[in-house]
Structure 1
Amino acid sequence: MGMQMGSGGGSADPEVMIEMNMTPLIDVMLVLIIMLIITIPIQNHAVNLNLPTGPTPPPLVDPVVINVDVDFDGTVSWNGTAVDPKQLEAKLAEAASVANQPEIHLRPVAVVPYKSVAAVMAAAQRLGVTKIGMVGNEQFLK
């Protein structure tokens, strides 16, 4: 507690200072904030990809290409024919079971909700499709 000295007047007892000294409190709070910032783990949003290493030889046989279109309302088409989610999963499972998997070209329109495209990609990954690619990405560079 600090004491406040009078102006040399009449009382012999010094008056008690009522204000709290804020400097130690602020120092402690700054140290706690710095410790909190240091201990927060770094968010790492990474997607693991299997990238090719070195040049690949040209394929002996042209691959079979399957076009999967996702329309603005989430409608999925398999080579131009509309399919529901169960039919899509059956066709993806059939494509994944073939020894030489066909290439799946995923072609979403520019205004399709992301969840519709992500659902198709998640189903393909879950069913074991390894040859899938996005086609027509130049429409998103606006």
Structure 2
Amino acid sequence: MASTAGMASGGGRRRRRARRGGAINEINMTPFIDVTLVLLIIFMVAAPMMSAGVPLDLPQTKAAPLNSDAKPVTLSIKATGQVFLDEAELQDQAIVGKLAEVSKKGFEERVFIRADKKVDYGRVAQVMSIVSTAGYTRVALVTEPDQR
């Protein structure tokens, strides 16, 4: 009995020693997490700067913002009178064709017109006329909220 008690207490076990300088078969997650957090911070800082569109100086009004679920089709008019769909410049003759390509709901698509406040009112009316005579009934002007 005494001999079996010694074995039960661990006297006969072999112990493995870790090799020094051998390959470690565990993944070190620290560099992965560091890189992921750095990328997250970069994208959080860069996301507000990536707002697409043509830079314009929009007029300010006291009108309330519209509730819109889907991204509307937006035409932008620079101070020089050039018309852009997203960031692509359009000639007046091509406006209707491009609107037909990008509109998902057909003539029921909401079309926003953003115009620099230095643009001649006649030019804005001309672009609105082109869009409305093409059959689009939901045309709206975009302004910035009044800061006063």
The normalised TM-score by structure 1 is 0.47
The answer to which structure, 1 or 2, has the higher relative contact order (CA under 8 A, 6+ apart) is: 2
